[in-house]
Amino acid sequence: MSLPHSHEIIETAQRVGLGNYRPAPLVVASGHGCYLRDTEGREYLDLTAGNAVTAVGHAHPRVTEAIARQAAAVLHTSNLFHNEPSVRFAQELTRRTPFDRVFLCNSGAEANETLIKLARRHHHRLGDTARTRIVAATGGFHGRTMGALTLTGRDVYKVGMGPLLGGVHHVPYNDLNAMAEAVGPYTAAVVVEVVQAEAGIIVADDAYLRGLREVCDRNGALLFFDEVQTGYGRTGTFLAQEHSGVVPDACSLAKGIAAGFPMGAVAVREDLAGALPPGSHASTFGGNPVACAAALAVLDAMDDESMIENAAVRGAYLAARLAALAADPEIPALEARGKGLLRGLVLPDHLDPASVLDEFRERGVLLSRVGGQVLRFSPALNITLKELADGLDVVERTLRAALRR
């Protein structure tokens, strides 16, 4: 079957889609490693990794083989029965993190919904039924379902969506005094990202994260980290929280977990184990054996190819190159920031990031934007030095040309 031309696909998408996305005029046909190919046969260096998802690159043979093998064995079992890949995967997660128990689901938002229910139900079980409030951070992003949307600290996502969940408050990020004032005897949990990614790659201070742990302990509240975007090696450690040494009571994961196969997880410490008794929470597709086989293959690939170490080393190179761009008066970039292979370059207000992204794409490099004026760099963790250097050369040339216009 010959592929329809990309313009036909784009036209059809505009007709039948709900209209809630604004994709670039590029129809992906295939991917390999850090490259994507479109239906016209053009190849692009993908520095987005599908919004920080395809951690081991596109079509990693270990992952595609594991998916095919498991799909041929059994596609779905439901949570009426056990399946080995989900048990093995949960065990792996407990082995690699300070957490003891795992709930498996399908997305980051669903993982964060689970955190909300877990917090409330935990205190309810202890008889502290008034402890239902949750404090999150201004600017934070936690997903689009109603609970996760309520946690999200940017009004732009909430327009016309109310009424939202009750009992959720937001305080400025990286401001420990504001958090200390907000947390009290009715606080069930504090939920923050370790790096606010969608807000524009804003990194939490280690002292802030340590302070959050103290504030929560002092007040009997739980501390949850949303590591949906930062987890899974992206910042050069398995979880981004490891940089600070702070261990929360639970954390949410998704994105890179199965490197493109839809999956999410919540990892919790032992004292939360009984907080969600049978019947209190579930997910039809949670722990799907194909997703878990993919997730196990992702971990194998990461180990065999030292991808987390690569993320740290390449991340340092990326940081240095972006800092040099930000320091160069000939280049319209204001600031570079981030951790590991999750980095942002802040553009000045007069530059339209959408047209800059179009120019990158025309020159064969894919990037995305977050927080309005920030270019997000989130390539696969196994990107080579040459691939990264080539991509940054295109970024540099494009931005230099933008200043001259």
Interface contacts to ligand PLP, rule CB under 6 A? 107-109, 112, 141-143, 193, 197-198, 226, 228-229, 254
What is the smallest separation between the CB atom of 229 and ligand PLP, expressed in angstroms?
A: 4
Smallest distance from ligand PLP to CB 243, Å: 16
Q: Report how far apart, in Å, the C-alpha atoms of 346 and of each of 36, 39, 331 are.
A: 25, 32, 11
Least distance in angstroms from the C-beta of 109 to ligand PLP: 3
The residue among 109 and 366 lying less far from ligand PLP, judged by its C-beta, is: 109
**Based on CB atoms, which residue is closest to ligand PLP, 192 or 399?**
192
255 is catalytic: yes
- Is the Cβ of residue 99 or residue 225 nearer to ligand PLP in the bound state? 225
**Closest residue to ligand PLP, based on beta-carbon distance:** 108
Give Cα 178 to chain centroid, integer Å: 25
Do 338 and 344 contact (CB within 8 A), yes or no? Answer: yes
Residue 258 vs 275, nearer CB to ligand PLP:
258
Task: Tell the smallest beta-carbon distance from residue 338 to ligand PLP (Å).
Answer: 14
Q: Residue 376 Cβ, how far from ligand PLP at the closest point, in Å?
A: 10
Judged by beta carbon, residue 65 or residue 205, the one nearer ligand PLP is: 205
Least Cα distance to 44 among 400, 398, 365, 392 occurs for 365
Min dist CB 148 to ligand PLP, Å, is: 6
Q: How many residues does the chain have?
A: 405
CA distance 291 to 79: 14
Residues 6+ apart with CB under 8 A from 141: 152, 153, 154, 157, 193, 196, 197, 198, 199
- Among 89, 99, 103, 141, the one annotated catalytic: 141
The answer to whether the Cα torsion of 67, 84, 79, 150 is positive or negative is: negative
- Half-sphere exposure for 44 (CA within 13 Å, toward CB): 29
Q: How far is the CB of 380 from ligand PLP (least distance, A)?
A: 17
Q: Which of 225, 249, 255, 261 is catalytic?
A: 255
Strands of the 168-171 sheet, one edge to the other: 101-105, 264-268, 250-253, 222-226, 187-193, 133-137, 168-171
For ligand PLP, the closer CB: 53 or 307? 53
Cβ closest to ligand PLP, residue 227 vs residue 387: 227
Is residue 281 within 8 Å of residue 110, measured between CB atoms?
no
Distant-in-sequence, close-in-space partners of 271: CB < 8 Å, separation ≥ 6: 249
Q: Cα 79 to chain center, whole Å?
A: 26
Quickly count: other Cβ atoms within 10 Å of residue 19's Cβ.
9
Of the residues 103, 224, 226, 238, which is catalytic? 226
Omega within 30 of 0 (cis) for the link into 163: yes
Query: Annotated catalytic sites, by residue?
Result: 141, 226, 255
